[in-house]
Structure 1
Amino acid sequence: MARSIEGLSKGEKSRRLIIEKAAVLFNQKGYEGCSMQDVVKVVGLEKGTIYGHFESKEQLALEAFDFAWSETRKRRFAKLDTVANAIDKLKLHIRNFIIIPDFPGGCPLLNTAIDVDDGSSPLKREAKKAFRGWRDYLVGILHAGQEAKEVRMSVDPRKVATLIISMLEGASAMQELDRQSNALADAEEHLVFYLESVVRYRK
């Protein structure tokens, strides 16, 4: 767990500042769309200072993505531990996705997946790791729900998790293209119906 800003040394605070500001920049403009000079302008530190903390633009981008995704996860998984039933956890997760403001620039996972063409690049691999972590978290909720007889044994947790992620991210992209679209609300309506009618266990 990251230490609070008060407990950091001057050098650590400087490093944290660079990561936080670069995370917003990379997420808004893309890895290829911004230079280290852009980072210098946003952060307000000399290039030499930045390179004193990071070996390369790629290393900074990786840590910036990790920060952006960590913040995104916190928002999307907020208060899930206060809900007992697996289906209700998933419904709260969907609601969080829709109503809690996203990280500046949108979903870091979706942005990185679109921005980085090279599937073998470290940044693309980090995005894949983030996706798998998100999917596995939802799969864990569904498996626990099956054990507690809250989720039907006939459903495949991995397929359900993938469907939820795909619909939410797809709807988010559509709404970004058309601000007047109700894509996210429509996705929530269909996902809730699916969870209640197909996934929830009923005696």
Structure 2
Amino acid sequence: MRKGQVTKEQIIRQSAGLFNTKGYAGTSLSEIIERTNVRKGGIYNHFESKEEIALSAFDYMFAKLKSILAEALSELSEPAEKILAIGDVYIQLVEDNIWEGGCPILNTAVENDDGHPLLKQRAQNAMNELMMSLGEIIKDGIKRKQFREDIEVEAACSVIIALIEGGVMLSKLHDDHKYIRYCTNQVKSYIQRDMAV
């Protein structure tokens, strides 16, 4: 890998935690310079603007999340197990503090719902991708006759994602891991009560 590419990736990696913790508006270029140990000219050698760094940082964090989820699901075949494994990934995200600031989709969505339109779009696209993947798991469960065939897939995805992301938000807000566990336990109850045949 060329030195320039290494520097660019370092800037993305190092600034990702800043943006995920402080948000786009709260992160200054001077903080990026301090965190990355790359001078202003070096940063602008790789990026045209703070916005471009923020978008790249979001993409980096979402790619990392997808990779962690893919690894967690790779050995599983049962749809219910896969859904519970997604919850376990988010428990790990909170309890092991995998990323500075928590879930990048949640943070970006909350900060930019009325703010930065390109970051809002990135968060929407990321959430749509997660919902689509979860929907495929649910459809597989219906096809295998493990889940009820009358399930409204989009509604089920919304409930599961809302419970998990809500658990992340409450845990971060109160600095207490119990909330993500409460909410992932509710996902298990929802599967058993409203989805299972």
**Structures share a fold, TM > 0.5?**
yes
2:83 aligned with 1:87: no
What do residues 51-110 of structure 1 show as CA deviations (whole Å, max 9, x unaligned)? Answer: 111111101100000101111232344321211111111111112211343321111111
Secondary structure (helix, strand or coil) at the match of 1:79 reads helix
Instruction: Report the equivalent of 2:109.
Output: 113
Letter in 2 for 1:114: V
Q: Cα distance 1:180–1:60, how it changes in 2: closer, same or farther (>3 A)?
A: closer
Name whichever of 50-59 and 116-125 sits farther off. 116-125
Give distance in 2, aligned partners of 1:72 and 1:181.
Answer: 19
> Runs of at least 4 residues of structure 1 off by over 3 A?
117-120
Which of 168, 173, 183 aligns to 1:187? It is: 183
Which of 21, 36, 51 aligns to 1:43? It is: 36
Instruction: Report the equivalent of 2:136.
Output: 140
Secondary structure (helix, strand or coil) at the match of 2:149 reads coil
Instruction: State the 1:120 CA deviation.
Output: 6.4
Cα RMSD for the two superposed structures:
1.6
Letter in 1 for 2:16: A
Letter in 2 for 1:121: P
Map 1:146-185 to 2 at 5 A.
146-180=142-176, 182-185=178-181
Instruction: Report the equivalent of 1:131.
Output: 127
Letter in 2 for 1:82: E
Percent of counterpart pairs with the same letter? Answer: 29
Give distance in 1, aligned partners of 2:124 and 2:139.
Answer: 22
Contact between 2:163 and 2:186, CA under 8 Å: does it hold in 1?
A: no
Secondary structure (helix, strand or coil) at the match of 1:192 reads helix
Name whichever of 184-193 and 13-22 sits farther off. 184-193
* Unaligned stretches of 5+ residues in structure 1: 1-7
